[in-house]
Amino acid sequence: MQKCKAQNIIPHRSYRRLKISKLHFFSELLVYFLFSAAAVYLYAKYLINTFSLYFKNVLLEANIDAATTVVDIFGFPVTLLKLSFVHTQPIYLFFILAGMVILFYILRIQRVIPYNIAMWLNFFILIFIVFLLYFIFLGGQFPYSFIEYFELYTTAHIGLMFFSFVITASAVALTPAAYWMKGMTLVLLVGYYMFYSLVRYALVVLLTSQLSIVMAPIMFFTLYLDFIFFVSAYSYFLYKSAVLFQKKDEEWKW
């Protein structure tokens, strides 16, 4: 009888672990953490202040009465725009509420928009309906002034920004990709998010001061969806890294 050759049996991936140099990992993590902290510092210390002053001039040129005020957020003197909320009459909110209910029903029965996207849209519509009901019946009891709202908004935003940057930096450091690729990914991700944050800040100011106070809670809620953006971005980066290294077993060091 012929002897069977020993086979090199590789265990299922569920039982394998990445072999990562602790020194390299913690060195990378420290660099990425310092970069993330510096980015948040830059945003809180300079970018939001400069943008607020710039956008105030834009509003004034558009004949919109605007001013600025300085508040303390995490020890930073942050310049925020100072306008006024637009309070919408309940009768108009009833019409908007009816439109939202109809739109919710249409999205449930339609077959054009993919189901997962339709469900996400309905999720936001339901939240908006809740806020509409609040302002229809309890609008006069909204507890925040314009400045108080944006102070709370900016505080939550900077805190979530720091948290998201640190979590993303940790995840990127664990990825078995080239250093330049990981560094570039983190820089692009942080840069894009900071630009997006300023654009959204301007949008929130316009929506709440020119359209309706109803937009205030829904726009505040969008802050907590930012983490989904970071998870999606990292997942895409990890997928691309896996595709790139799938034929290089040594890169993964199982």
Q: 226 and 154: one domain? A: yes
Mean pLDDT confidence for 35-58: 94
Q: 64 and 185: one domain? A: yes
Mean pLDDT confidence for 226-236: 82
Q: What residue numbers bound the domain in which 151 lies?
A: 20-85+145-243
In a domain? residue 77: yes
Q: Residue 153: pLDDT above 90?
A: yes
Mean pLDDT confidence for 215-237: 85
Separation of alpha carbons 151 and 148, rounded Å: 5
DSSP 8-state code for residue 77: E
Alpha helix segments (H runs only) across 175-248? 179-206, 215-221, 226-245
**Predicted local distance difference test score (pLDDT) of residue 19:** 61
**Predicted local distance difference test score (pLDDT) of residue 1:** 47
In a domain? residue 130: yes
Domain final residue, candidates 100, 124, 143: 143
Q: 138 and 159: one domain? A: no
Across the chain, the runs of DSSP E, i.e. the strands, are 67-73, 76-82
**172 burial type by CB count under 10 A (0-12 exposed, 13-18 middle, 19+ buried):** buried
Q: 238 and 157: one domain? A: yes
**Predicted local distance difference test score (pLDDT) of residue 17:** 58
Structural contact between residues 66 and 60, judged by C-beta atoms closer than 8 angstroms: yes
In a domain? residue 165: yes
Q: 138 and 149: one domain? A: no
Q: 158 and 46: one domain? A: yes
Q: Residue 21: pLDDT above 80?
A: no
Q: 38 and 122: one domain? A: no
Separation of alpha carbons 225 and 218, rounded Å: 11
Across the chain, what does the average pLDDT equal?
Answer: 85
Q: Residue 189: pLDDT above 50?
A: yes
**Predicted local distance difference test score (pLDDT) of residue 13:** 54
